[in-house]
A and B are shown apart, each in its own frame.
Chain A
Amino acid sequence: MKNLLRVMAVLLAVGSMAQAVCNFNKSLSVINPVLVEDEANLLTQLIELKKQSDLTGIPFSDIQTEAGMPEIKSNDDFKEQFLQHTLKYLQTIKGGENTVQKVLKQQELQPKGCGPGI
């Protein structure tokens, strides 16, 4: 009986350690460097585009964009593209989506009905 209990204890301990290592691997932020860089570059270009449009007053449709940039003709296009690529950027970070959900629920980030926003 004692032998059986000893074996059970050792097996459970080995299983617990294996489970802990698996959970550790899952919790690590696995970042795909290529995707991260692509999305980061696109986001930077989109921010620059918005700055240029705001400073000069030239509409998006008249600004020459770099190759590989999504087509942006209006402020709504900009918003959509910016959010899409921000989410894609977050998706390259494992667990990023969960953090977005958590952050969106924070009181200070709840929509107040007015404000500049994007």
Chain B
Amino acid sequence: MKQDIGKYSGALLMFGFGVLALYRWHQTQLLFFLLLVLRDFVAAYFFLKRRPAEIKSGRLPTIASYISSALPLCYLGSDNVLPLFLLISTIMAVIGFLLVALATIELGTSLGISPAKRQLVKSGVYKIIAHPMYVGYAIAESGLTLINPINAGILILSLLLYWVRAKQENKILGPC
């Protein structure tokens, strides 16, 4: 079995995001960033401890997964947002990232960026939603479209890639 090098880069990346979120919390005092800190550090820990994959997805779905993971960084902000839109967008981001955090906690050592067969998780939030992490990201990213309509293009591409990832996961793990 090949050594799982990806877990170290994944852990490092998530740790980096966690530190960045911590800095943003320090700057803004917004609790939302602490939710991101929790999620990112938990993900970093689970990446380090994750079990090796029994089956991995092909090259194309892997590339699609990495592009899809990087896309949320491309969303644009805006200086002139209506307070109501900002509120709705923030609430959508919180709900979305709560789902993402709960899914990360549930996945535990089965966490991965590209679809792979580790252990099928059907507990917690996975009992209610088949792909809570993608649903969470989709909700949060839809909120970003409210504050800047230019983000709609990124959202469409992002949703398409989540759909591809979900299909690939269903194929590898069996239908949920």
Contact = CB atoms under 8 A, between A and B. Distances in A.
Binding between chains A and B: yes
Interface of A: 2, 5-6, 8-10, 12-13, 15-17, 19-21, 23-24, 27-28
Interface in B78-122: 83-84, 86-87, 90-91, 94-95, 97-98, 101-102, 105-106, 108
B35 interface: yes
18 contacts: A2-B106, A5-B38, A5-B105, A9-B38, A9-B98, A9-B101, A12-B31, A12-B38, A13-B95, A13-B101, A16-B32, A16-B94, A17-B94, A20-B32, A20-B87, A24-B87, A27-B86, A28-B83
Contacts of A9: 35, 38-39, 98, 101-102, 105
Nearest to A13: B98
Contacts of A19: 30-32
B42 A5 contact: yes
Interface string B8-36: 00000000000000000000001110110
Interface SS of chain A: helix, strand, loop or mixed?
A: helix
Chain B contact residues (Cβ within 8 angstroms of A): what range?
Answer: 20 to 34
A27 to B, nearest CB: 4
Contacts of A28: 83
A20 B83 contact: no
A15 B32 CA distance: 8
A35 B86 CA distance: 29
B36 to A, nearest CB: 9
A45 to B, nearest CB: 33
Interface in B23-57: 30-32, 34-35, 38-39, 42
B15 to A, nearest CB: 16
Closest 6 CB pairs of A and B: A13-B98, A20-B90, A16-B32, A24-B87, A12-B35, A9-B101
Contact of B94 (A6, A13, A24): A13
Contact of A16 (B31, B39, B83, B105): B31
A13 B136 CA distance: 13
A70 B87 CA distance: 43
A17 B91 contact: yes
B77 interface: no
Kindly name the residue among A19, A21, A28 whose own CB sees the greatest number of chain B CB atoms within 10 A: A19
Given A9-B35, A10-B98, A16-B35, 9 more contacts: A6-B102, A9-B38, A9-B98, A9-B105, A16-B30, A20-B32, A24-B83, A24-B84, A27-B83
A13 to B, nearest CB: 4
Nearest to B39: A9
A19 B28 CA distance: 12
